[in-house]
Amino acid sequence: MTEPSVIFVDDDPDIRPVMEQTLTLEDLSVACFGDGASSLKRISPAFAGVVLCDYNMPGMDGLELLKRIRAIDEDIPVILLTGQGDISTAVTAMQLGAYDFIEKPFDHDGLIELLGHALEKRHLALENRRLKVQLRQLARPGPRILGDSAAMRQVMATIDPILDISANVLLQGDTGSGKDALARYIHENSPRRGHNFVAINCGAVPENLIESELFGHEPGAFTGADKRRIGKIEHAHRGTLFLDEVESMPLPLQVKLLRVLEERRIERLGSNDVLDIDVRIIAATKADLRALGESGEFRLDLFYRLNVMKVDIPSLKERKEDIPVLFHHFVLIAAARYDRESIPLDAEQAARLMEHPWPGNVRELRNLAERYVLLGPAALDETRAQGQENVPGRRTLPEMMDAFERSAIVSALNACQGSIKDTMVQLGIARKTLYDKMKKHGLDKSEFKD
């Protein structure tokens, strides 16, 4: 559903279609409602528009609607329409936080100008809010999660509310999609960051050793155990334990891990002493654990304990607009490591990267960035060859350039929350040029408003 720029509320059925036509002719999208209660269903803290409402309405009048809207988000501009005898009420409305009021009959040009100013104020408030969130994220310690695609913004919106709590998290995504980096990000931005982040790949440790790796052991617990070993779970006390490829954990060990999650206690192998444990579990998988549980290959009760909060991590092909910024980031890291110059991509090279299928996801992109630093642009030739083999209907250079241009515009519109003015500045192009290119690529600014 397209988000309106203006929500108009008036109980007069003759006025609503007139106002809708008036605002539409001014290129303002509008949603009309006959009462305040129904209009509230379309208003949230993410609403990027303005509310224009009549004061004299049965039931919920304009003042009550103003109070309800400010309880949702006090930065949403509310403009009241008042009769000549309602001036004292309008003054009260201003004291309660109304953006402005207009006397009936109102001047058309004055109303449009007022709505324009109110919309600019709302967009600025949302942009400032978004920038504050970004600044908080950048101020946090630890690894950064790069990407401003819709898919990655959804990931960050999912994990942000759980950073300060100790709920277990299940990360699901393809190999190389960045599950390890996201697990470290969650730990480093949580109250546990002062303690250990302990990672273990359940698929890389031999089955006969993984129990000792997790629980530790006492001397003599088994052949070759000549001294005490602190296990991963105990080492992660008050910190975070990251279980990668958790679907590979042997079923007997799953039972013991489940007991740890339920009792918050462990015993080292060969010991009768019980140790209290405070640990947050972040598990990662490329498989469907529920399906594995239903087929008997993974314990469903353990799945439910791990799946307190599930985060689906998109593959790189699902977030192609993030590829240029990710590649540039990895190039800078590699250039510093190898003491080489970082050569920026040109448009054709960036378009080629976005065309590549990336079966290895972010890990493959990072490896390519390192080879690019060491070998130069010749390292990108493999993406051309693989892209031609894996992508049906080989694209021409103009087609790749179009894809890159569309991605750049989408990325800018996302960053600017659909603001044409800000997008023009970011891309360095004129308003008409931007509108022409948006029309060419089938883009609507309303799709990018949070």
Residue 180 located in a structural domain: yes
Same domain, 278 and 189: yes
Q: Which residues of 355-394 are buried (b: 16+ CB within 10 A; e: fewer)?
A: bbebebbbbbbbebbbebbeeeeebbeebeebbeeeeeee
> Looking at the chain, how many residues does it have?
450
Q: What's the burial of 109, exposed, middle or buried (CB within 10 Å: 0-12/13-18/19+)?
A: exposed
Whose tokens are 């694209």? That residue is: 395
Residue 142 located in a structural domain: no
Residues in Cβ contact with 126 at an 8 Å cutoff, skipping those fewer than 6 apart: 46, 48, 75, 417, 450
Residue 145 located in a structural domain: no
Q: What is the mean pLDDT of residues 308-313?
A: 94
Q: Tell me if 125 sits within 8 A of 171, measured CB to CB.
A: no
Residues in Cβ contact with 37 at an 8 Å cutoff, skipping those fewer than 6 apart: 59, 60
Average pLDDT, the chain: 86
Does residue 365 surpass a pLDDT of 90?
A: yes
- Residue 155, domain CATH: 3.40.50.300
Same domain, 407 and 427: yes
Does residue 141 surpass a pLDDT of 80?
A: no
Q: DSSP labels for 151-193?
A: HHHHHHHHHGGGTTS---EEEE--TTSSHHHHHHHHHHTSGGG
Closest of 41, 37, 36, 54 to residue 1, by C-alpha: 41
Q: Tell me if 302 sits within 8 A of 281, measured CB to CB.
A: no
- Residue 115, domain CATH: 3.40.50.2300
End residue of a domain, out of 80, 95, 130: 130
Residue 135 located in a structural domain: no
Residue 140 located in a structural domain: no
Q: Output the six-digit token pair for 232.
A: 């991963």
pLDDT of residue 429: 85
| Single-letter residue type at 217 | H
**Which residues are registered as beta bridge partners of 269?**
217
Q: Output the six-digit token pair for 414.
A: 């996302």
| Single-letter residue type at 150 | A
**pLDDT 10s digits, 104-115:** 888 888 999 999
d(CA 140, CA 146): 14
Q: Tell me if 43 sits within 8 A of 67, measured CB to CB.
A: no
Q: What is the mean pLDDT of residues 334-351?
A: 81
d(CA 125, CA 131): 10
Can you give the residue range of the structural domain that contains 366? Answer: 317-448
End residue of a domain, out of 249, 283, 314: 314
**pLDDT 10s digits, 187-233:** 999 999 999 999 999 989 888 889 999 999 998 888 888 888 899 99
Residue 138 located in a structural domain: no
Residues in Cβ contact with 189 at an 8 Å cutoff, skipping those fewer than 6 apart: 137, 140, 141, 142, 163
Q: What is the mean pLDDT of residues 377-393?
A: 60
Count of the separate structural domains present in the chain? 3
**pLDDT 10s digits, 239-251:** 999 999 999 999 9
Same domain, 333 and 308: no
Q: How far is CA 321 from CA 110, 142, 355, 381, 427, in A?
A: 40, 24, 11, 21, 15
Residue 141 located in a structural domain: no
DSSP state of 378: G
pLDDT of residue 393: 43
Task: Select the more confidently predicted residue: 187 or 441.
Answer: 187
Confidence of residue 384 (pLDDT cuts 50, 70, 90): low
β-pairing verdict for 265-266 and 275-276: antiparallel
Same domain, 276 and 385: no
Whose tokens are 């992508």? That residue is: 391
Q: What is the mean pLDDT of residues 296-307?
A: 94
Same domain, 440 and 325: yes
Q: What is the mean pLDDT of residues 354-372?
A: 91
| Single-letter residue type at 228 | R
Q: What is the mean pLDDT of residues 298-304?
A: 95
pLDDT of residue 206: 87
Same domain, 301 and 163: yes
Same domain, 290 and 435: no
Residue 139 located in a structural domain: no
Global pTM reads 0.58
End residue of a domain, out of 314, 330, 355: 314
Same domain, 158 and 251: yes
Does residue 417 surpass a pLDDT of 80?
A: no
Q: Output the six-digit token pair for 81.
A: 């329409």
Does residue 364 surpass a pLDDT of 90?
A: yes
Does residue 92 surpass a pLDDT of 90?
A: no
Does residue 135 surpass a pLDDT of 60?
A: no
**pLDDT 10s digits, 23-68:** 999 889 999 999 999 999 999 998 999 999 998 888 898 899 999 9
Residues in Cβ contact with 368 at an 8 Å cutoff, skipping those fewer than 6 apart: 327, 379, 380, 382, 383
Same domain, 55 and 117: yes
E strands, 193-279, in order: 197-201, 216-217, 229-230, 240-244, 265-266, 275-276
Q: Tell me if 355 sits within 8 A of 391, measured CB to CB.
A: yes
Q: What is the mean pLDDT of residues 61-87?
A: 86
Task: Select the more confidently predicted residue: 363 or 208.
Answer: 363
d(CA 283, CA 381): 36
Does residue 387 surpass a pLDDT of 70?
A: no
- Residue 349, domain CATH: 1.10.8.60
d(CA 174, CA 169): 16
Same domain, 267 and 183: yes
Residues in Cβ contact with 59 at an 8 Å cutoff, skipping those fewer than 6 apart: 35, 36, 37
Same domain, 119 and 184: no
Q: Tell me if 376 sits within 8 A of 346, measured CB to CB.
A: no
| Single-letter residue type at 88 | S
| Single-letter residue type at 234 | E
Range with lowest mean pLDDT among 99-113, 160-174, 312-326, 331-345: 331-345
Same domain, 272 and 257: yes
pLDDT of residue 170: 97
| Percent over 90 (pLDDT), the chain | 47
